[in-house]
Structure 1
Amino acid sequence: MAALRHEFYETDEKLTLSVFDRGADPAQVSVKFEPRALSYQHGDKSLQLQPLKGQIDPDKSDFTVGKVKVEIRLVKAAQGRWGGLVGDAPDPLTTFAPTPATATASATAKQRKNWEGITTEILSGEKEKTSDEDPNVGGDSTVNSFFQKIFADADEDTRRAMMKSFQESGGTTLSTNWDEVKKAPVEVKPPSGSEWKKWN
């Protein structure tokens, strides 16, 4: 049997598993959900995952078959990050009875961002975003095309001002006035309520 390459990303509510099975026939794909196990079958290709790191709700979990991969959405029975796909983790539903102290501690822990998971989520999103979903994508969004038009129609000094102000301000300022911009480095002006931090 051929093993299948797979990867996942998670939120507190669900874990999304991508099984890379190019050209899978939806009629031949079988996915079986159990509270702590998942099995994927397509012809001679299979993937068995157990025990899952946490408990899932088999009735709410589902999958879709795409051209390149099969996306399996596992709905978690208890909110929280697993940090992995399989393993002997204590099941939060059977072993966790929160006392006021642990409830507070877990609430604090829940507010920490899982940057690795977020990065994986962004990188594994093979679907191209449209400009409706993300204004930074493509040239057909109104804001993007507006700035492209200004840049294309501008003279050399205006273009120079736009590039210098945008780069030096870390993307927080866009100026078209070269006489003002050429005098000194452009200050970083983060949105109100935000604080600028420089990363090495």
Structure 2
Amino acid sequence: MSSTTFGQKGVEAVHNKDYAAAVPLFDKALESSDSPAWLLARAQAQQQLKNYDAALRDAELAYHVAADRGSGTSRKLMIDAQYRRATIYFKLGRYADSDCCAKWSMNLAEGRPARENDGVEKNVDKDGKYTLTYEDAVADKKSQPGQNGTGGGAAALASATTAKTGFENEWNRAYAWRSQALGMMKGLPEDHPGRKVSVTKIPARPVKQKAEPVVDASDDEQPASAPAGKTTKADSPAPGSVPDEKLKLRVDFYQTNQAVTVSIFVKDVKKDDLRVEFSENQVQIAPLSREAAPYVKPGDRESSSTFVLGGGIVPSGSRWSATPRKIELVLQKAIPGVKWGKWGEEKIGAVASEEVQTAASSSQPAAQPSANQAQPLPAKKNTSAPPKPTGAPAYPTSSKSGPKNWDKVVDGEDDDDSKDVNAFFKTLYKGATPEQQRAMMKSFIESNGTALSTDWSDVGNRTVETVPPEGVEAKKWT
């Protein structure tokens, strides 16, 4: 059977409360899939079988997989994962931890950012005991989604504008669970471990493990290398619900001697709300919507990006424009005629200017020097090296006069050439490595003389496009 068939049969088994049969079915289904829905269903089955460590591992992994996918159902699955954590901690007697997870489930149901630093787990006294009470939880209804104020009175007016999120049932479920968790804490001794908080909002990501055979609890011959139900954690906690690499936007660019045009592809751009700030080596843009994290709100770290540039620009001479699907930056080069090796890189959030400068200088490849910059001294030639071939290199060319022997062009230059506008390019070619010379020829010919690159890793595997100067339109010869 396929993994889908195993998963569907596992869901049916959970629905029929046949939890012992459901676990091996999900084990098979999850061998080739990381479906968060199946992980949550298996967590429910493991919880009913009192395999709490295994259940907690599945709930935590389901949270991370749902957050990574960033699909339309991700928030619902993340809400369910936090609620499942709350029920498991309750069964383990960790009532303070259970209340924290239930509150995080409510926050997600209200539409709040997944990575918001809400400080729920910090409600502890000097002895590390949870300070929230049953009465606090009962009164915590001010952010309940979907309220229309039908009850009348001041409370109704306060909640009349609360927006619907589509997760009202999930919010009510977590709200009711909090009363159970905090109700249990009422009768606990002051030194009971269930009063202490040891949970974090975003759990450490468990390592996906191969399914172990179901072993009866009374069996004394369990494998020593993999104890049943042992939770294996990653070496360090995950930094957030969605990795920064998945948040980054698609970017394209082209350049002329005077400017670099960068196109940033992002959906649902609101031009009136957009803030674009230029500096000498970076551009900061906010707010930005993210497909990988659809619930990001203005003010969140993820709602802004710092674009560290591959070269210096003139901020006052740069401009931007926006459409609902794209933001376009036209960046005036600080040094005209210098070709950028790449446009730069995107960093999520705001980055300090001194940090940006370091990043730009470390990531920027060596640019072609301008004619008035000092040239590096060429390396001494090895006298034992074989002489250059006298034949012209067989480079492809569109010239009517046939292939050009660039070696002879360079060897035949004299002092008068230093006054020629092409002298710099001849000197550059003469001092370049064979790989750089090959990149120069390929980029110059394929771009019809409008681009020149010395970076073979950039142009070797693509066709260099024609980039005419501003105000000039490239047309094919007919």
**What TM-score, normalized to structure 1?**
0.48
Larger helix percent: 2
Larger strand percent: 1
Instruction: Compare CA radii of gyration and give the structure with the larger one.
Output: 2
